[in-house]
Amino acid sequence: MLFTLLIHYMHREFVRWFSPSLGREMEMLVFGHGGTPVLVFPSSMGRFFEWEDFKMIDALSNQIENGHNQIFCIDSIDKESFYNKAVHPTVRMARHSQYESYVVNEVVPFIQQKSGTDYLIATGASFGAYHAANFLFKNPWKFSKLIALGGAFDIKSFVNGYYDMSVYFHNPVDYLQNMNDHHTLERLRSMDIRFVTGENDICKEANFYIHRILNGKAVHNQLDLWLDGTGHDWPWWRQMISKHIA
């Protein structure tokens, strides 16, 4: 009797280029050889290797090795924007806007070219969930699904009481409430939007709040509340992403 042994392996690729939007080199890791692409935003001031270090990639190994998903883990510039207390909030927001240009005009086209599809999942944990949600809501024709893990979606605590239109347009809990454009809302209504949090997550109420805002706009979204002491940390996020990636 002849047995065939099929061995799966995980493709891992380091990618780097000089970003015209940011004026410096940016790095990413790509895992997988095919399947639906997933854009991963790291948590607060996190790096492109964060999901590998915290075993989120291991949690998705079956999806990746079997060609169901290709994971694109990009770098943050949070230290230069939201967390840069040495500069005025206007400078912080301007730097974040450059990051937005990098993601939308450089990263997304790279993913589309590499994956051969326009369907793109945005995800992240904690502050990465904010980034994933904000990018999807502001650029709904670039994304198709959101998996926000333990996120908070109000950035006013980062700007020391300062408020202008640049803050407003990066603050989902503000601009979503005033969103009335029919085409944009219809696009959001066609998406798969998921907020995942735990009963002991420090950001739990933030998830309930944005869930209610979207419901008020008739934008269907799923709020998945985990019980049994679930909190705000990587062991829970590994389980959550495994459930919601499919």
The CATH number given to whatever domain includes residue 33 is 3.40.50.1820
230 belongs to a structural domain: yes
5 belongs to a structural domain: no
1 belongs to a structural domain: no
* Two tokens, residue 243: 């459930």
Whether the Cβ atoms of residue 135 and residue 53 lie closer than 8 Å to each other: no
| Beta-bridge partners for 224 | 196
- pLDDT surpassing 70 at residue 160: yes
Q: At 246, is the pLDDT very low, low, confident or very high (cuts 50, 70, 90)? A: confident
58 belongs to a structural domain: yes
204 belongs to a structural domain: yes
Q: At 8, is the pLDDT very low, low, confident or very high (cuts 50, 70, 90)? A: low
124 belongs to a structural domain: yes
The domain containing residue 107 runs over which residues?
12-244
User: SS3 for 16?
Assistant: strand
Q: What is the pLDDT of residues 33-64, one digit of tens each?
A: 999 999 999 999 999 999 999 999 999 999 99
- Is residue 67 classed exposed, middle or buried when 0-12, 13-18 and 19+ CB atoms within 10 A define those classes? middle
What is the total count of domains within the chain? 1
194 belongs to a structural domain: yes
4 belongs to a structural domain: no
The reported pTM is 0.95
- pLDDT surpassing 70 at residue 161: yes
Residue 234: per-residue pLDDT: 98
CA distances from 101 to 97, 105, 107 (A): 6, 5, 9
